[in-house]
Amino acid sequence: MNMRGMTTRSIWLECLRENAINMRLEHEDLGRRIAVSLASSQKALLDIENLNQELSKMKDTIHNAISNVMGYENKCCELLLDILIKIVENNDLNQYPQDVPDSIDKNITEDQ
């Protein structure tokens, strides 16, 4: 094959031109796919950020609820303890020995 002939050069140039066109089309297609992937990733990132904000709000709500319940439990326990103390102060347990179990009598005498 004579490389110096016009026909041969023309064939080579046509092949190079076709390769360049195909490469340009592939690059354009690749660019479109990258743009679509980037847009999808950005949307996913926004969704994740929104979920993080919602989770943060839920976390705050749960912490507040736990604090409220703990405060309520403490108040109830304190109120119950106050009531029990008043009952014990107002009633002498020694005047009702039949109502006091033996184990409590033993504990009271051991503690004293």
Q: What is the pLDDT of residues 43-101, one digit of tens each?
A: 999 999 999 999 999 998 988 888 877 777 777 777 877 887 787 777 765 665 565 55
2 located within any domain: no
Q: How many domains does the chain have?
A: 1
Whether residue 99 is contained in a domain is answered as no
With a threshold of 0.75, does the pTM exceed it?
A: no
Residue 55 lies in a domain: yes
Residues 2, 17: Cα–Cα separation, whole Å = 21
Query: Would you say residue 23 has pLDDT above 90?
Result: yes
Q: Which domain holds residue 65?
A: 8-94
Largest CA distance in the chain: 131
> Is 109 within a domain?
no
Contact call for residues 1 and 8 (beta carbons, < 8 A): yes
* Per-residue pLDDT at 5 exceeds 80: yes
| Rounded Cα gap, residues 110 and 112, in angstroms | 5
101 in a structural domain: no
Cβ atoms of residues 2 and 8 within 8 Å: yes
Does residue 24 lie in a domain region? yes
Residue 41 inside a domain? The answer is: yes
SS3 per residue for 19-68: HHHHHHHHHHHHHHHHHHHHHHHHHHHHHHHHHHHHHHHHHHHHHHHHHH
User: Has residue 100 been placed in a domain?
Assistant: no
